Amino acid sequence: MSIYIYNNLKIGLSIIFLNLFAENRKGSGRMEIKVKHKIGHPPEVVYKVFRDKMMEYVKYLPNVTKVVIMERQDIDDNLTRMRVQWHGMGQIPEIIRSILKPEMISWEDWEDWDTEKLECRWVIKPYYFTEFVRCEGAWRFNPSGDSSCIATCDGVFNVTIKEFPPFPKFIVKKASPAIEKMIGTYLGPNLKNVFSAVEKMIEHENR
């Protein structure tokens, strides 16, 4: 395998954990997160399941193997602060698994849940490539007028890779378009899978 192909794999595939968090690209090295999904249940119900049942609805997410609630603190009657650890892998092809280490596709989600506004503001902190990645935004749960919920995710995702020793800068620069293309292809559908997982969880509880 040539060093160029290996470098694309090492950089691009190592950030496959970001597969849950973006949809549209705007500008070099920057992606805008903007996803919307209608769920046929009241927003208050969707909000509570989304916040409180993560360890249960994860079974409906094909590229996530485990969720761990590291911290949960009720600041007051309205605000809940959480630190959640996510572990990826799931249906990633076997050939890619041989390259990835667990910490490359694990990350922490720092969350502030606002019950009055029915929203969650979050910041993603990866364990790998931490210095290259900025990802933050908000989940929101709005009524649709028919006892349903319009769930949205809006935010920003930045990847800035100037150097990646021991590889030369020109190789890193060439790898960047491949990374952006991969992320743009997979992240939107996988993020929508989170909404679908929550909906399946609610339907399961209502049986």
What size, in residues, is the chain?
A: 207
181-190: average pLDDT: 60
What is the rounded CA–CA span in Å between residue 14 and residue 144? 38
* Domain count of the fold of the chain: 1
Higher pLDDT, 123 or 165: 123
Short-list 202, 198, 89, CA closest to 152: 198
Boundaries of domain holding 46: 3-205
What are 85-142's pLDDT values in tens digits? Answer: 988 765 555 555 555 555 566 788 899 999 999 999 999 887 776 777 778 899 999 9
| Contacts within 8 Å (CB) and 24+ apart, 66-70 | 70/108
Q: Could you tell me the pTM of the whole model? A: 0.75
Kindly report the CATH number assigned to the domain that includes residue 93: 3.30.530.20
Mean model confidence pLDDT for the chain: 75
pLDDT bin (cut points 50, 70, 90) of residue 192 is confident
Residues whose CB falls within 8 Å of the CB of residue 63, separated by 6 or more in sequence, listed in order = 16, 19, 20, 88, 89, 90, 91, 92, 190, 193
177-203: average pLDDT: 73
At residue 82, the pLDDT reads 97
